Chains A and B, each alone.
Chain A
C-alpha cells in the first residue's frame, strides 16, 4: 500500500536554531512530493514541492526540502527557526496515477514548536 510516514509527532527547537521535519514515503514510481503547513484554525497552505531536477527545493518563508531518492525521503528544513514557524506540518505525495484521481496522500503531520 502506498503511504507517507512522518515519524515525529512533535519537533521542538529553539528560535534561531536549524530545524528538520522528517518525511519518508512508500510509493511506486517517481511521485511528486509536497509540504503543507497548517496554522491553528486555518486551512492548509502550500510550502513547496518537488517535481524533478535539483534535489534541494526552496519554498515559502525560508523553508527548503531535500529529496533523497535512495532513502525515499523528503525532509523539510530551515536554517534558522522563528517562533512564528510553530504550526502543524504535513508531507504529501502524489503517486504516479494508477487511477484518475491524481490524489494527494498525506502523512500524519508533525507539530513544530519553536520556543523563544
Chain B
C-alpha cells in the first residue's frame, strides 16, 4: 500500500543509548519531514529534506541528526538519548507540486 511507513512503532531507550528511526515512503515524494508531538505543544519540526542527499534544520533540531541517502528513506538519529526526547515522532512527505502532506502512523519513544 502506498504511504509513509515508520519503524519502529514503539521503543524504550535508556538515557545515553542511541537509535535510528526510519521513515520510508513509496510515493516518490521529494520533501520529507520529521516532527515531534508533545502534549500541549502540537507538532514541532525537527529536520526536513527537500530531496535526496539534502537535509536542513527545523525548529527543534538539537540532539537529533538525519540522513537522506535514498529518496524514499529519511532517517532520524538520536546519538545519546535524553528523557527530554520522550515523545511521539511523526514523519511526513509531500511532492513538490502538491499541498497534500502524507503522515506516518508515528513512533512512540520513551527515554528512561
Interface extent on B, as a size class? 20 to 34
Residues of chain B lying within 8 A (CB to CB) of residue A96: none
In the complex, the answer to whether A43 meets B99 with C-beta atoms within 8 Å is no
Q: Mark B26-54, 1 if CB is under 8 A from A, else 0.
A: 00000101010000111111001010000
In the complex, the answer to whether A109 meets B42 with C-beta atoms within 8 Å is yes
Q: Which of A52-100 contact B (CB under 8 A)?
A: 90, 92, 94, 99-100
Q: Mark B1-36, 1 if CB is under 8 A from A, else 0.
A: 000000000000000000000000000000101010
Q: Mark B65-106, 1 if CB is under 8 A from A, else 0.
A: 000000000000000000000000010101000011101111
Q: Which of B41, B99, B105, B106 contacts A32 (CB 8 A)?
A: B99
**How many A-B contacts are there with CB distance less than 8 Å?**
57
B interface secondary structure, majority: strand
Q: Which of A32, A34, A103, A107 contacts B42 (CB 8 A)?
A: A107
Give Cα A36–Cα B106 distance, bound, in whole angstroms. Answer: 15
Residues of chain A lying within 8 A (CB to CB) of residue B105: 42-43
In the complex, the answer to whether B44 meets A102 with C-beta atoms within 8 Å is no
A76–chain B nearest beta-carbon distance, Å: 15
B64–chain A nearest beta-carbon distance, Å: 16
Closest A residue to B94 by CB, please name it. Answer: A102
In the complex, the answer to whether B50 meets A108 with C-beta atoms within 8 Å is no
B58 adjacent to chain A (CB < 8 Å): yes
In the complex, the answer to whether B48 meets A90 with C-beta atoms within 8 Å is no
Give Cα A37–Cα B82 distance, bound, in whole angstroms. Answer: 29
Residues of chain A lying within 8 A (CB to CB) of residue B44: 106
B16–chain A nearest beta-carbon distance, Å: 28
Q: Which of A34, A51, A100, A107 contacts B56 (CB 8 A)?
A: A100
Residues in A lying within 8 Å of B, measured CB to CB: 4, 6, 9, 32, 34, 36, 42-46, 49, 51, 90, 92, 94, 99-104, 106-109
Kindly list 11 other residue pairs between chains A and B, CB separation below 8 angstroms, not including A43-B103, A43-B104, A44-B92: A43-B90, A44-B43, A45-B103, A92-B43, A94-B99, A101-B50, A103-B45, A103-B48, A104-B45, A106-B43, A108-B42
